[in-house]
Copies of this chain bind each other. A is one copy, B any other.
Amino acid sequence: MNALDQLRAPVAPAHPAVRTGAGNGHCCSTCPLPGLCDDSSRRGLPDALLESVLEQQHLQAGATLYMAGQRRSSIWVISTGALKSCELDLEGREQVVGFHGPGDVLGLERIEISEHRGFALALEPTSVCRIPVGKLLDRLTTAPELWREVLRIAGSQIARAREVHRVLGQLQTGQRLAWFLLEGTGPRRDACQCSGATVIQLPMPRQDIASYLGMTLETVSRSFGALQREGLVSVQGRTVRLLDPARLAERIVPQAAHA
């Protein structure tokens, strides 16, 4: 599945892991940091022209956006596609700490720090807008209102991480998967009308979901199976149809989903 397919597909428009850039029109119209990449006079230009102005990077599935040890020099705004970001431990084992879709901002966590500790990798063909840190700081000096946006985005990423902490801390595996399906994965999940989305196209393999949720891939598979047996979802590979989002949501309540 590539980004173009997603744009055309009538299903699955809403899950954060696969949401499309702008729906209709260029992703700049929904950019969370408008005016950062260059002056805003060019807004309204044809998409093809915009492409030529932007500092865009295109990644194939499996390509890395940045790697551990690499000197950090940019932040990125995702236009289309999906990425995962990972941390590495001392033994080199990877831990998925985030999935990111169009509109998400990457790299804020290491701004002002010399090099990356983890890495980010495209899960499918992906394009991002690169914003050099120098330009970011310049812009912030001359256009202080951008400030609030960046701070808002950083704050929402912190809040998001706390939510994940809660999920890993007090939900059991089946509940974590239900949460994952409903709440999605990006810092901008608020923009996702979850109840309306009934079909999800997951861009990541089971192993990545397992890592992200702190469980094994077998348990992810079994949990999918359990949810399916109960009629809550219908699973076929990476296509998941939410048959009963309301009852699925009940599952997320900690301790005893008494129903």
Contacts and interface: CB of A to CB of B under 8 A. Distances in A.
Interface of A: 87, 89-91, 93, 95, 97-98, 108-113, 117-118, 137, 140-141, 144, 147-148, 150-152, 154-159, 161-166, 168-170, 211-214, 252-255
Contacts of A144: 140-141, 144
- The residue in A91, A166, A252 that gathers the most chain B C-beta atoms within 10 A of its C-beta is A166
Given A89-B170, A140-B147, A151-B154, 5 more contacts: A89-B166, A91-B255, A108-B151, A109-B158, A170-B214
Contact of A112 (B111, B155, B163, B168): B155
A9 B211 CA distance: 42
Given A155-B112, A158-B161, A168 B168 contact: yes
Contact of A97 (B97, B165, B252, B255): B165
A108 B158 contact: yes
Nearest to A140: B147
8 nearest CB pairs, A to B? A161-B161, A109-B158, A169-B214, A154-B154, A168-B168, A95-B166, A112-B152, A97-B162
Given A165-B97, A169-B95, A214-B169, A148 B157 contact: no
Contacts of A253: 89-91
Contacts of A112: 148, 151-152, 155
Contacts of A252: 90
A156 B157 CA distance: 12
23 contacts: A87-B162, A89-B170, A90-B252, A95-B170, A97-B165, A108-B154, A110-B155, A111-B152, A112-B151, A112-B155, A113-B156, A117-B159, A137-B148, A141-B147, A151-B154, A154-B154, A154-B155, A157-B158, A161-B161, A161-B162, A165-B165, A170-B211, A170-B214
Contacts of A168: 165, 168-169, 214
Contacts of A154: 108, 151, 154-155, 158
Contact of A159 (B90, B95, B109): B109
